[in-house]
Structure formats: structure tokens, C-alpha cells
Structure 1
């Protein structure tokens, strides 16, 4: 049940492109994290180029307006799962959009089952409903 929050530059991607980005990330989530079908939670926020600041952390490169900042909230994942997720997501986005390596940044924040309520103010993981 990862929650994927995409931050994009407004008008840099077509609506069809955005849908393909979301579908691609969902497929990678299923593949790498073994999430069940239908376990899909994604949001997209748009920013002006000036309001989506993604510097290079001193690595010496520049990013284009096609930059994607992806925040993921998820259960704890192994180092291998994280590395595989980052790599597979980039490879697929690069193949589909020729996305530059510099234009994808991913931040993963871990949480636990107790941090989720899916409806009705219930903690379904804690009550055994899930």
C-alpha cells in the first residue's frame, strides 16, 4: 500500500504522459514490492518551474522541466527492494519518455501498518480487517 505522490512541472507533460507515468510506477510497485492488485494510491501535484526546486546536491548536473520528484510513503523495504525500485522505475521511464537520469528524484519514507486508515476512521490493519 505505498502512497506515491508525484510532483511535476505544470504543462511539462501531457495528460496521457502523466497517466503513463502513474501506470508505470504502479507496475513497478507491483513487481518490486509485491503489492496486491488494486493496491494503488497515487497523487499528482503541479508546480511552476520556480516552485519545484530540485537542485543537484552538489553532483554537478542540471534538471529539465520534465523533472519528477516522487515521494513514497511505504512499509519498511529492504535495501535491495529500494535499489531495484529506483532502478526499474528509471529504466522504464527512460525507455518510454527518454527521461534523463537527472530528472528523476525519489524519496522513500517508511511507516507501519498502524499509520493507515482506509475508511471510516478504522485502523484496518490493526483490527484484522486487512
Structure 2
């Protein structure tokens, strides 16, 4: 049950933002064994003054089209699955909406299964 936070600069149309969500969802289905309809994502736009990044940190040439993707998920995936997820997201977002690989920044936050309540005040995974 990943929870995905997507941050980007303001100004992108709804179809662009929807393509990002779709690409991430399909990549998670492909590589992370995420069930159908397990879609919990939020997209946040930021003014340029509120969106900072290292334009060349680790020799990656980033632009103002940078997208931060933070995925909170159960600590159950292997390193190989994570690498496959990164590659799948970059490929899919390159295809649609056309984001350069250099502008896809992904972070996974792993949590214990008991750290989720998906409704009704229950710990469904505990």
C-alpha cells in the first residue's frame, strides 16, 4: 500500500500531472507487486521560491521540470525490486508526459506494516 507524494513546480496542466500518477502507478504494479486499484497519491505544485534543488548534484543536470517522487511503502521489497521500480518510473515518465530521466528524483521511505491505518481506525496490515 504505497503512499506517493509528488512535488513539482506550478504551471503543469492537469493531463501532465495525471500522466505522472499513471506512470508511477503502472511502474509500482509492474515491479512492486502493488494490487489493482491501490492508488494513493498526492500531487503538490510549488512556486519557484519554494522549490529548491541542486542543479548538478552528483553530476546530474537537473532542470526546472524536476519532479520529486517520495514513496512510503512497507519494508518488504528487495534492492532489485527498488532498482526495477526506479527504471520503470523513469522510462514511463519519459514516454508520458515526456520528463527527462535527469528530472526524475525518487525516494523510498520504508515503514513497518503496523504503521498504516487505511480507514476505520484499524491497523489493517498489523
- Structure 1 length normalisation: TM-score? 0.88
- Output the CA distance in 1 between the equivalents of 2:94 and 2:30: 18
Residue correspondence of structure 1 range 1-130 to structure 2 within 5 A: 1-11=1-11, 13-56=12-55, 58-76=57-75, 77-126=77-126
Partner Cα distance (2:57, 2:28) in 1: 29
**Aligned partners of 1:50, 1:25: CA distance in 2, in Å?**
26
Structure 1: gaps (5+ residues): none
Aligned pair count? 125
SS in 2 for 1:43: strand
Return the alpha-carbon distance in structure 2 between the equivalents of residues 5 and 61 of structure 1.
22
- Residue deviations 1:56-88 (CA, integer Å, cap 9, x gap): 563234422211000110012210001000011
Higher CA-based Rg: 1
TM-score normalized by the length of structure 2: 0.91
- Runs of at least 5 residues in structure 2 that lack an aligned partner in the other structure: none
Q: Partner of 1:108: helix, strand, or coil?
A: strand
Which sits farther off after the overlay, 42-51 or 92-101?
92-101
Task: Give the Cα–Cα distance (whole angstroms) in 1 for the partners of residues 36 and 57 of structure 2.
Answer: 39
